[in-house]
């Protein structure tokens, strides 16, 4: 197994009228071939920015620092057009909303064959054959007639399958899935996730799955990074994380998922309060104001990322179950 | 006896009834384009050959001259047909060239943004701040004027006229294209295509252009109308195409004989008015009806 991607000390900030907005702070992750990482956090915690910044898909207002190594090559220092050569064939992304990620005025076939002809240099005829195979692979019924349809004729789940087919069309080594099921109906979410996992295994892709749903990542990832206010606050293998949760924030996130066994009428626990202002640099743990176990130390000093053994890292002074 | 009730479900095509104005406008424009293309092959008197037996004959009064003759003995109908040829040629050519240049500049400045975009916007604003009649007048009088040494030929006048009208069209279409492309460039499907490594030019051609085209087409129709008017105004000012060739030039000649043969003025004036109203109507129609697919979702 070889390392596909290695991110060291990645920080991303945006210049805004209210000052510098720190969206991602000093994040380090590493993924092996075929391995998958779930990035979990609430809205505004920086998970989308993290995945887009690794790929290099950020708007020009963003500044990125840190080192990103993709298949042994440092890509964080490469000029834009060199990075662009990696997109599609090296790394690809499945976007959150399939309603807006397909061009409304072009046929599915044209959009699907675009990267095949442009990036892989296939002939139109070969690309069409390959596109039909891909549609079959993502379980689209009647792929031949699908090629001639427009996006508005399809349901959300079908469009997301097509987005997935486009993303894997050039056989990338690395797939970013940015909340691929958020915009979909609950009944098709499971199918789409299952499909992504299958394709990941088939093409031996490394994957970063961004979501706000801990339940989603549980069955489809090898590792989990929990993000809060731009920081990775807990980073552990999936099994280890669920069996030995250290971070109060992760615990609160898990508690706020509705469960079948709770009696009807029970109020769903919520995490009170809001994320801290990302343009301000306040001392202390960013979660302090919302934490159930907060102490004076938490408000005064920001905890470092601590190694808890078993590949388990957490950012807390008083982890659940005590320090090692 | 059983009666079968047949409920007719109107298909989208037959259910969509077009307004009467659409048919009138398209018939008129179709007729003008037909005359412009096939005018020389129609059995009409030569437009620039005077018939001295009929001077200033009114419509339907002289045999062989359906719409009468001018005060100088030229046939009105063939003059109008030739005018359609010139007016439509001048406006279509200048709008096509201007639209292409404006479209390319507008779309690329919206897509690439940055300094290039600021410069383009500044240039467009400067160009738009010059009244187009003044600009055309200045260009024609400096490059295709009648002087003592030379008389401006029809070809030379026409070239300079088309050139100056093109300059007028570029920022008009350019700004519309930029505004529309700006909105489409920020859409997620552009980012999605980019994330597959598609080159910028392919993205512009395949993803942005098809979405911007309806807006550009609509403004192009409106522009054809205004170019015909500008050309007419220039002719009235005495710098049009010489020899009474275009509708505007016919007006300019005819106003000298307003009291003897008023049809010499109102006929080209009506031709201009109908054509401009039709292109405007068509432009509105295109804008309302071509950009529908997304609103259906």
B282: domain CATH number is 1.10.3720.10
Tell me if A119 and B297 make a contact (CB, 8 A cut-off): no
Within an 8 Å CB–CB cutoff, is residue B202 touching chain A?
yes
Domain boundary among A110, A136, A169: A169
The predicted structure's pLDDT at residue B297:
44
Spatial distance between the Cα atoms of B15 and B3, rounded to a whole number of angstroms = 26
- A75 and A110 part of one domain: no
Q: How many domains does chain B have?
A: 1
Are both A200 and A121 inside the same structural domain?
no
| Residue partners of A189: CB distance under 8 A and separation at least 6 | A181, A216
- The predicted pLDDT at position B11 comes to 47
CB pairs below 8 Å between A and B: how many? 85
CB contact under 8 A, A87 and B197: yes
Examine the pLDDT at A168 and tell me if it is beyond 60.
yes
Cβ of A152 within 8 Å of Cβ of B195? The answer is no
pLDDT digits (tens, 9 = 90+) for A255-307: 888 888 888 888 888 888 888 888 887 888 989 888 888 888 888 889 999 89
Q: Do A114 and B202 touch (CB under 8 A)?
A: yes
Q: Which helix (H) or strand (E) holds A251?
A: helix A248-255
Q: Are A238 and A224 in contact (CB under 8 A)?
A: yes
Q: pLDDT band for A233, please (50, 70, 90 cuts).
A: very high
Instruction: Give the tokens for residue B287.
Output: 């804008």
Check B293 against A105: CB less than 8 A apart.
yes
Whether the predicted pLDDT of B150 surpasses 70? no
**Measured distance CA(A144)–CA(A109) in Å, rounded:** 9
Residue B296's closest chain A neighbor by CA? A152
Q: Is residue B295 part of a domain?
A: no
Which residues from B are below 8 Å from A97, CB to CB?
188
Domain end, chosen from A132, A148, A169, is at A169
The pLDDT, as a whole number, for residue A67 is 93
Count of the separate structural domains present in chain A: 2
- Say whether residue A85 is in contact with chain B using an 8 A CB cutoff: yes
Mean pLDDT score across all residues of chain A: 89
- Digit-coded pLDDT (tens) for B10-35: 445 544 677 888 889 989 999 998 98
Write the secondary structure of B220-256 as one string of H (helix), E (strand) and C (coil).
HHHHHHHHHHHHHHHHHCCCCCCCCCCHHHHHHHHHH
Whether A199 and A309 share a structural domain: yes
Q: In the beta sheet, which residues pair with residue A313?
A: A235, A307
In a domain, A321, yes or no: no
Residue B126's pLDDT band (boundaries 50, 70, 90)?
A: very high
- 3-state class of A8 per DSSP? strand
Is the CB of residue A259 less than 8 Å away from at least one CB of chain B? no
Domain shared by A175 and A283, yes or no: yes
> Could you give the percent of chain B with pLDDT greater than 90?
29
Which residues constitute the domain of residue B171?
21-39+65-290
Same domain, A275 and A194: yes
pLDDT score at B30: 92
Looking at the structure, tell me whether residues A25 and A126 fall in a common domain.
Answer: no
The domain boundary residue, chosen from A124, A145, A169: A169
Does one domain contain both A268 and A296? yes
pLDDT tens profile A47-78: 999 999 999 888 888 899 999 999 988 998 88
CATH of the domain at A304: 3.40.50.300
Residue range(s) defining the domain that contains residue A289 = 3-90+170-314
B186: closest chain A residue by CA: A59
Least confident of A80-84, A172-176, B149-153, B247-251: B149-153
Buried b (16+ CB within 10 A) or exposed e, B227-238: bbbbbbbbbeee
**Same domain as A174, residue A156:** no
Residue of A55, A98, A105 to mutate when probing chain B, most B C-beta within 10 A = A105
CA atoms within a 13 Å half-sphere pointing along the CA-CB vector of B53: 5
CB-based contact, B207 to chain A, within 8 Å: yes
Q: How far is B289 from chain A (nearest CA, A)?
A: 14
Is B192 an 8 Å CB contact of chain A?
A: yes
Contact B196 A166 (CB under 8 A): yes
**Does A185 share its domain with A47?**
yes
- For residues A145 and A273, membership in a common domain is answered with no
* pLDDT at residue A164, rounded to an integer: 93
- C-alpha span between A15 and A154 (Å, rounded): 39
Q: Which helix (H) or strand (E) holds A190?
A: helix A186-203
CB–CB of B192 and A101 under 8 A? Answer: yes
Cross-strand partners of A74: A69
A253 and A298 co-located in one domain: yes
Kindly tell me if the per-residue pLDDT of A223 is higher than 90.
yes
Q: What percent of chain A has pLDDT over 70?
A: 99
State the ipTM, two decimals.
0.85
- pLDDT tens digits, one per residue of B79-114: 888 888 888 888 999 999 999 999 999 999 999 988
- The tokens of B293 are what? 């697919």
Alpha carbon of B48 to those of A164, B73, B83, B261, B268: distances in Å?
Answer: 68, 9, 11, 18, 16
Tell me whether residues B293 and A150 touch, CB distance under 8 A: yes
In sequence order, which residues have a C-beta less than 8 Å from that of residue A32 and are 6 or more positions away?
Answer: A1, A2, A3, A4, A206
Which residue is closest to A102 within chain B, CA to CA? B189
- Contacts with A115 from chain B: Cβ below 8 Å: 196-198
- Top-confidence residue, B38 or B47: B38
A12 and A144 both lie in a single domain: no
Helices (H) and strands (E) counted in chain A, each on its own, are 11, 12
Interface check for A100 against chain B (CB to CB < 8 A): the answer is yes
Query: Concatenated DSSP letters for A196-244?
Result: HHHHHHHHT-EEEEEES-HHHHHTT-SEEEEEETTEEEEEEEHHHHHHS
Considering only CB atoms, A115 lies closest to which of B196, B294, B297, namely: B196
């Amino acid at each position: 197994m070889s390392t596909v991607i290695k991110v060291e000390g990645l920080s991303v900030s945006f210049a805004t009228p209210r000052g510098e907005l720190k969206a991602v702070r000093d994040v380090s992750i590493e993924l092996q071939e075929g391995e998958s990482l779930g990035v979990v956090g609430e809205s505004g915690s920086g998970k989308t920015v993290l995945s887009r910044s690794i790929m290099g898909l950020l708007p020009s207002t963003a500044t990125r620092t840190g080192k990103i190594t993709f298949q042994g090559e440092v890509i964080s220092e490469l000029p834009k057009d060199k990075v662009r050569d990696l997109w599609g064939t090296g790394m690809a992304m499945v976007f959150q909303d399939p309603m807006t990620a397909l061009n409304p005025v072009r046929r599915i076939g044209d959009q699907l064959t675009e990267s095949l002809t442009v990036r892989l240099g296939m002939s139109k005829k070969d690309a069409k054959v390959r596109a039909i195979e891909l549609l079959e692979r993502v379980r689209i019924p009647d792929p031949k007639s699908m090629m001639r349809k427009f996006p508005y004729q399809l349901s959300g789940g079908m469009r997301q399958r097509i987005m997935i087919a486009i993303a894997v069309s050039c056989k990338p080594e690395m797939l970013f899935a940015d909340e691929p099921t958020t915009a979909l109906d609950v009944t098709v979410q499971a199918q789409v996730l299952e499909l992504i996992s299958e394709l990941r295994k088939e093409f031996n892709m490394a994957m970063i799955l961004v979501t706000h749903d801990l339940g989603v990542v549980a069955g489809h990832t090898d590792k989990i990074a929990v993000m809060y206010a731009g920081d990775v606050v807990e980073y552990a293998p999936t099994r280890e994380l669920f069996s030995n949760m250290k971070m109060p924030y992760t615990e609160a996130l898990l508690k706020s998922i509705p469960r079948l066994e709770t009696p009807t009428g029970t109020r769903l626990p919520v995490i009170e309060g809001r994320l801290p202002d990302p343009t301000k640099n306040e001392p202390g743990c960013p979660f302090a104001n919302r934490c159930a176990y907060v102490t004076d130390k938490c408000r005064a000093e920001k905890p470092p990322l601590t190694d808890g053994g078993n590949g388990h890292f957490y950012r807390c002074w008083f982890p659940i179950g005590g320090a090692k | 006896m059983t009666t079968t009730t047949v409920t007719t479900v109107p298909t989208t095509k037959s259910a969509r009834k077009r307004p009467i104005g659409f048919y009138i406008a398209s018939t008129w424009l179709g007729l003008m384009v037909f005359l412009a293309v096939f005018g020389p092959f129609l059995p009409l008197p030569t437009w620039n050959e005077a018939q001295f037996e009929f001077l200033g004959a009114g419509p339907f009064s002289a045999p062989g001259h359906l719409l009468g003759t001018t005060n100088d003995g030229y046939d009105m109908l063939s003059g109008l047909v030739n005018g359609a040829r010139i007016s439509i040629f001048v406006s279509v050519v200048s709008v096509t060239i201007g639209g292409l240049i404006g479209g390319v500049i507008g779309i690329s400045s919206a897509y690439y943004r940055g300094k290039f975009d600021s410069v383009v916007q500044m240039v467009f604003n400067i160009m738009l701040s010059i009244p187009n009649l003044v600009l055309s007048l200045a260009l024609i009088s400096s490059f295709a004027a009648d002087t003592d040494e030379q008389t401006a030929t029809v070809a030379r006048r026409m070239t300079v006229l088309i050139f100056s009208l093109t300059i007028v069209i570029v920022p008009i279409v350019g700004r519309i294209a930029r505004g529309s492309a700006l909105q489409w460039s920020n859409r997620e499907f552009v980012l999605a295509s980019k994330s597959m490594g598609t080159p910028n030019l392919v993205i512009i051609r395949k993803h942005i252009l098809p979405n911007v085209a309806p807006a550009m087409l609509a403004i192009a129709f409106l522009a054809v109308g205004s170019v015909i008017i500008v050309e007419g105004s220039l002719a009235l000012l005495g710098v049009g195409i010489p020899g009474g060739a275009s509708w505007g030039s016919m007006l300019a000649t005819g106003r000298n004989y307003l009291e003897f043969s008023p049809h010499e003025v109102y006929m080209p004036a009506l031709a201009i008015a109908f054509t401009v109203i039709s292109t405007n109507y068509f432009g509105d129609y295109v804008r309302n009806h071509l950009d529908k697919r997304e609103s259906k979702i």
